[in-house]
Amino acid sequence: MIEILKETARYLVCVKPIGIAAQGTQQEAMPQLLSAQLGCGIFPVHRLDQTVGGVMVYAKTAQEAARLTQAMGQGQMQKTYLAVLTGCPAERAGTLEDLLFHDRAKNKTYVVRRQRGGVKQARLHYEILAEQDGLSLARIQLETGRTHQIRVHMQSIGHPLLGDPLYSRCGRCTCALWSYRLSFPDGKGEAAFEAQPPARFPWTVFF
């Protein structure tokens, strides 16, 4: 059963388990699992890597999907993540801004130095919350939602996410990234939702 944080006639907020695709038509993807569990149509609004879990919102109507997509495009949907990094950045808080290129054939994103076809501006803010055993816990807020953005941004400063199969050689766990908080306008103000990461390594180092 998928954990549901809130369900209305227009949308639902849930906790996506690690290892399940956020989108797609396969039977084991989130839209089909939610549809079978709740008995209604499900419309994806935003992405989350399959290796990453945490808070997501799905629309229950096409109209609501369009509204939420518009809100996201206007920067009204705020996404906050927790990540466990290898080592600790010298600057314990900062803003990372780079040009990113996603190679679809390799399913990998790269930091590049000049603008060209397929290159997109990416920006995020991070803050180190704790440091323990050669690892650090970071809170990250996205301004843009590029493919693998957090993963490649942190790798680019020499502190990749623990367990990241594409951008790190530290394979002690699955990718240590969690969608911790999500907020968006719901017509009555701002709706905000949070979910703690699972009680297993490496999160148990800090929680």
Is 133 among the catalytic positions?
no
Q: What is the pLDDT of residues 161-206, one digit of tens each?
A: 999 888 887 667 788 999 999 999 988 889 999 999 999 999 999 9
Of 66, 58, 26, nearest to 42 (Cα)?
58
Place of tokens 């609501």: 64
State which H helix or E strand residue 191 sits in: strand 190-194
Taking phi first (over 0 means left), then psi (-120 to 50 degrees means alpha), and beta for anything else, what does residue 107 get?
A: left
User: What distance in Å separates the CA atoms of residue 179 and residue 161, rounded to the nearest whole number?
Assistant: 14
Q: What is the pLDDT of residues 27-68, one digit of tens each?
A: 999 999 999 999 999 999 999 989 899 999 999 999 999 999
Tell me which of 49, 98, 164, 186 is the catalytic residue. Answer: 49
